[in-house]
Structures are given as structure tokens and as C-alpha cells.
Amino acid sequence: MLFKKNIENLAAFGGGKMHSENLDFKDIVFNSKDIKKGDVFLPLKGENHDGHKFISEAYSLGAICVVSEKKIENQNYILVENTNTFLEKIARKQRNLFDGLVIGITGSNGKTTTKETLYKYYKNKLGEENVLKSFGNYNNFFGLCFSLLELRESHKVGFFEIGTNNVGEIAKLAEVLRMNISIITNIGYAHLEGLKSLKGVANEKTDIYAFTEDSGYCIGNIPYEFLKLGKKKSHKKKNFLSTENDPKKLLSKAIEIINNQLKLKSLPEEVYRFLDQKIDVSGRFEIKKSKSKAIIIDDAYNANPDSFLYAFQKILDLGISKIPFEKKILKNLKRICVMGKMGELGEKSEELHEYILKEASLIFDLVYVLDFKTNLNESNIQYMGRENLKSKLNENINEDVLIFFKGSRSVKMENIIDDLI
């Protein structure tokens, strides 16, 4: 952390009242099962969860202090009104103390891949100890706060992913993060239940620009009309740049700007060689091999219409060099798409599912549709449940088959993939 790790500082910065000796602590831990001797336990509260139930367990595992909304007899603790607010205050303190470069990343899809790509580039250039990235795909308010607690004095740059399901969430996260550089990977049909329309998505995502620091950079792989929407929200002087529909250019411009800020040198050809490499991100176009030697493309992390279309284009463009374990001519393989439902599409759900399904039917020899139905009845489309799908896959997959998996997180497509490999 960026302040001396003792109970007095923790209580002061989090707005709590100390009922403890001023002990030094090792880490702030949110899951009682992860407690080690010398840690502080911070029990968080959600709609269906209250970490206060595990306070006794935390002490038994070696916690030297607990942050609590209730008094605790005969133990070291910090008394607060709300543990979630305490976490936010500590995260804000960390951000205020950090004088390195902060990059915030949002978008309808591609957030995690963009974050991982930039992290890998700067880990190679600066060393792992000098670069921070937010945890996995934890891009909600708790996830951002957890990640900010990981900032250290050695860090020169941090990459933070922020997401949204409803109006106002990006503004809440961006106001805490206060980026030097903000990146919107794209704006598409995602989270329509909460955001209602493409314009609603654009209005929500461009809130990140409003909280970018003065003289900071606002980059977007988005149409210029959406970039202008972000400009209108910014009362400070900032630098705006659109790379409209060119993800690789977005990354190269981001690297160019970050390098300038960090006073690093790199040749454009070096950057493009790096960007031509495949960056492996779990559940995002991962190429695997099944037990029956079929090629599996695991893109099952999440799904929306734009990410489906992007993945379809990648499959059409896929060449022999991209397959790490087989030199096969992909056009000679039988192509099967396993399509799960896309969540949070609101009133456009049926229309968008039919559109993506129609596109899939033009690219794949067979399309297996898992646990949902539309009015589309192409000869190569088959609707089925989970057990029927497993049976169909066992019948049809062999070394001459490529299978593409994609669906929303709720579909848990990864369980089906695990059975095949």
C-alpha cells in the first residue's frame, strides 16, 4: 500500500474509530478463509451476503484486527458506520497518494483483452514490479477498490478495467479512478436492459471522459459522434482522439501516448510486431484441442452481438499459423458453432438473437443453439438443451472438426468445454 500499514492510519483514512493497539498489519483481506496471521479482516455487505458472520473465523485464523459495524468485545477492531464505505475511502486514499500513470478502460467488449495487452507490453518494457493491472475481469465498484489497494510505490503505471450494467455506474467508478488516460474500446449492443439503446450505451460509456484528469487523453475506438458526446461532458482541457473501428490502431495510439508520458522510446514497427502476437486471455478466443483432436475455439467468457460478429470475422480470417498444435487447412474442416444466449439485451433481445443466429448459419456448417429458441429455422440450425448438446458433440467431433463456443456468463459454457478436453 502507499501508506504505512498500521491500524491507526487505516482507521484514520477509512473514517473509523480505533479500538485497538496501533499494530502493523500485513494485508486487508475480504474473504475470511484467506486470512493469515497479521492480516486485517474487512467484512463487506451485499444484497445476499454479510461478511460480519465470519468475524469469529477471521480472528481464529490469525486476524489481528477487524473492521466492523458492530462493537466487538475483547478483540482489536475498528468501528465504522458502513464497511463498504470504509473500503471506498481507503481506495480513494490510495488513488490520491499515487503519482504514477492511471489508465482506465471501458467498452462494450474488448476491455479485458485491451488491459491484458497493454499490461503485457509494459511488463516487458518496465518489469513486472513496476506495472499494475486490475484483477481479472472484476470491473465493478468492489473490484476497482480491491485493485486500487494493490498500488505500491514501485508502480509507474496502472491499468484498470471498469464496466457497467446500469446508468451512472461508469461515472461512479471513473470519479474514484480519475484517469490520466481513458480508453473506450467500442460502443455496441450490450447491457440494453439497463441502458436501453445504443445512444444510452454511448452516453454511459463516455462518462469516463468527464472524469479524466486535466490535460489527460481520451481515446476511443468509436464513431466521432460519440467522441463529441464525451467532449461535451468535459469542462477541462483534454486531448481527444478517435480511431473509429480499428482496434489495433487504438492500442498503438495508446502505447504511443503512454510511452510519451513515461518518457519511453519505441519504434512503431516494434509496437506493431508486439500487437501481432496473440495475447491469451481465459475464455477469449482461446484455441484448444479436444480429447478427440478437434480444434476448439473457446470464446465463452461473455457475449453480445458485437463480440459475436468480431469473433465470426476472426474465424473467417484464421490461418494455419494461428493454430499452435496442428498445421491444418481450416477451410477443409467442418465448422460447428455452439451458441448460448446473450444476456441484458432488453426489448431488442429477440431481434438481435435472430440476427446473430442468421450470421452464424452463413459461416458454420452446423449451429447448435443452447437453451433458447427463435423463429429462425435454417436447415443447419438445431435448437437443444444441455444433455442433448453433449450427445450431439460426442457424435460429431473428431480431428476434422472446428467447434466455436460462445455465450453469456450465465450459460456456463466453460463446463461443456471442460468435458471435451
pLDDT tops 80 at residue 278? no
Do 149 and 46 lie in a common domain? no
Confidence of residue 30 (pLDDT cuts 50, 70, 90): very high
pLDDT of 247: 86
Do 107 and 153 lie in a common domain? yes
Instruction: Mean pLDDT check: name the lowest of 58-67, 133-142, 177-186.
Output: 133-142
SS3 274: helix
Q: Is residue 90 included in any domain, yes or no?
A: no
The whole-model pTM stands at: 0.81
pLDDT of 152: 97
In sequence order, what DSSP letters do the residues of 292-317 get, joined into one string? TS-EEEE-TT---HHHHHHHHHHHHH
Do 299 and 400 lie in a common domain? yes
Do 115 and 225 lie in a common domain? yes
Q: Is residue 383 included in any domain, yes or no?
A: yes
Do 112 and 254 lie in a common domain? yes
pLDDT tops 70 at residue 290? yes
In sequence order, what DSSP letters do the residues of 19-69 get, joined into one string? ES---B-S-EESSGGG--TT-EE---EETTEEGGGGHHHHHHTT-SEEEES
Do 127 and 59 lie in a common domain? no
Do 292 and 407 lie in a common domain? yes
Q: How far is CA 131 from the centre of its chain?
A: 17
As a whole number of angstroms, the distance between CA 65 and CA 205 comes to 39
pLDDT of 266: 83
Instruction: Mean pLDDT check: name the lowest of 88-92, 254-258, 273-277.
Output: 273-277
Q: Is residue 91 included in any domain, yes or no?
A: no
Of 81, 111, 137, the residue at which a domain comes to its end is: 81
Looking at this protein, which amino acid is placed at residue 29? V
Confidence of residue 285 (pLDDT cuts 50, 70, 90): confident
Q: What is the mean pLDDT of residues 126-134?
A: 97
Q: Is residue 2 included in any domain, yes or no?
A: no
**Which residue is it, cell 473501428?**
245
Q: Are 150 and 132 in contact (CB under 8 A)?
A: yes
Task: Please state, for a pLDDT cut of 90, what percent of the chain lies above it.
Answer: 65
For residue 247, the tally of other CB atoms under 10 A from its CB is 18
Show Cβ contacts of residue 320 under 8 Å, excluding neighbours closer than 6 positions. Answer: 327, 328, 329, 330
Of 50, 81, 112, the residue at which a domain comes to its end is: 81
Do β-strands 295-298 and 286-289 pair in parallel, antiparallel, or remain unpaired?
antiparallel
Show Cβ contacts of residue 80 under 8 Å, excluding neighbours closer than 6 positions. Answer: 14, 15, 16, 17, 67, 68, 69, 86
Do 260 and 291 lie in a common domain? no
Instruction: Mean pLDDT check: name the lowest of 189-198, 284-293, 358-367, 405-414.
Output: 189-198
Do 255 and 327 lie in a common domain? no
pLDDT of 179: 97
Do 271 and 400 lie in a common domain? no
pLDDT of 328: 59
pLDDT tops 60 at residue 322? no
pLDDT tens digit sequence for 220-235: 999 888 999 999 988 7
209 closest CA partner among 190, 236, 189, 248 = 236
pLDDT tens digit sequence for 369-408: 998 999 999 999 999 999 999 999 988 888 889 999 999 8
Domain containing 260 — which CATH number? 3.40.1190.10
pLDDT of 192: 66
Q: Is residue 92 included in any domain, yes or no?
A: no
Do 160 and 271 lie in a common domain? yes
Q: Is residue 72 included in any domain, yes or no?
A: yes
Confidence of residue 237 (pLDDT cuts 50, 70, 90): confident
Q: What is the mean pLDDT of residues 116-132?
A: 96
Domain containing 64 — which CATH number? 3.40.1390.10
Q: Are 380 and 201 in contact (CB under 8 A)?
A: no
Q: Using alpha carbons only, how large is the chain's radius of gyration in Å?
A: 24
Do 256 and 291 lie in a common domain? no
Confidence of residue 191 (pLDDT cuts 50, 70, 90): low
Q: Which three cell numbers stand for residue 266?
A: 519505441
Q: Is residue 87 included in any domain, yes or no?
A: no
Of 54, 81, 108, the residue at which a domain comes to its end is: 81
Q: Is residue 355 included in any domain, yes or no?
A: yes
Number of domains the chain contains: 3
Q: Give the sign of the dihedral formed by CA 103, CA 104, CA 108, CA 112.
A: positive
**Mean pLDDT of all residues in the chain?**
91
Terminal alpha carbon distance of the chain:
41
Domain containing 357 — which CATH number? 3.90.190.20
Domain range for 396 is: 286-420
pLDDT of 27: 96
